[in-house]
Structure 1
Amino acid sequence: MNKILVSACLLGEKVRYDGNCQRQHHIKLAVWQQQGRIISICPEVSGGLSIPREPAEMQTDGRIITQQRIDVTNEFISGANKALLLCKKYQIRYALLKESSPSCGSNSVYDGTFSGQKIEGMGVTAKLLQAHGIKVFSEQQINELSGLLE
């Protein structure tokens, strides 16, 4: 049975920058949890960032900067590498990650201006996983992911 890497915040873990979660109440997530298929991670926390933490956004040059202009790129890269190691360890081919995050966004990220505007793009973790052949989905694509798993 294929394991799935899932953003911890989507599973109700309070790991987001603001100390909250983005729990998804989708029947498929509940089924996958019961089946023991889910491997959970928050790349930002795994990379060494605290909960809560200052909001961070990806800049046009690829660096991740907090609202107070602190460069946290290395922490994001470290977390992405830890996510990739989990995928290799458990032979994971699919990831369900939080959309718009500078780590996990698979279709969009915030534009780096802290204005709430989103642009097309991928977060650090999503990009690394995809580069290693892992298919990345957002929480809006759970049904699509489910179709591939069945």
Structure 2
Amino acid sequence: MHKILISSCLLGTPVRYDGTGQQLLHPQIMAWQQQKLIVSFCPEVAGGLPTPRDPAEISNDKVITNTGDDVTTEFKLGARKALQLCQQHNIRFALLKESSPSCGRNTIYDGSHSGRKITGMGLTASLLEKNGIKVFSEQQMPALVQALA
């Protein structure tokens, strides 16, 4: 069985911008944990950002906080570290937090900090996909379970 990269926040680790986790309670995740198949990772923390931190959104190929700070460098570093970790552990599948500017698989916020979502991918999700790692959001658990079967 292959290891799976999973967003730390989906495992309940309080690493989200607001200092919380968003644990995904799913029997398959518990089974993977028992089998030691999960590699937990937060690209934003790995990129050097604190917890909590100002919310950030992608705008014009940059990641900008709601206070106007450009955190693109940290987000790109976190994405590169995620890819290195996947390559190091031969990880071919990732379960990442939807709508995050790092991990969003299908949607991200539109960059206006108004709460509007658009179709798009976060920096980490995009880099992993470009390098042949299949990325799923928490809303796609059945598809991930099937892909791993």
Q: TM-score range by the shorter chain?
A: over 0.9
Q: Which stretches in structure 2 are left out of the alignment for 5+ residues?
A: none
Shift of 1:10: 0.1
The residue number in structure 1 matching 2:75 is 76
The residue number in structure 2 matching 1:11 is 11
The residue number in structure 1 matching 2:43 is 43
For residues 1-150 of structure 1, what are the structure 2 equivalents within 5 Å? 1-59=1-59, 61-150=60-149
Query: d(CA) in 2 for partners of 1:111 and 1:55?
Result: 13
Shift of 1:97: 0.1
After superposition, the C-alpha distances for 1:111-145 in whole angstroms (9 at most, x for unaligned) are 00111000000000000000000000000111110
Identity %: 58
The normalised TM-score by structure 2 is 0.99
Query: d(CA) in 1 for partners of 2:145 and 2:126?
Result: 21
Instruction: Find runs of 4+ consecutive structure 1 residues off by over 2 angstroms.
Output: none
Q: CA RMSD in A?
A: 0.5
Aligned residues: 149
After superposition, the C-alpha distances for 1:72-122 in whole angstroms (9 at most, x for unaligned) are 000000000000001000000000000000000010000001110000000
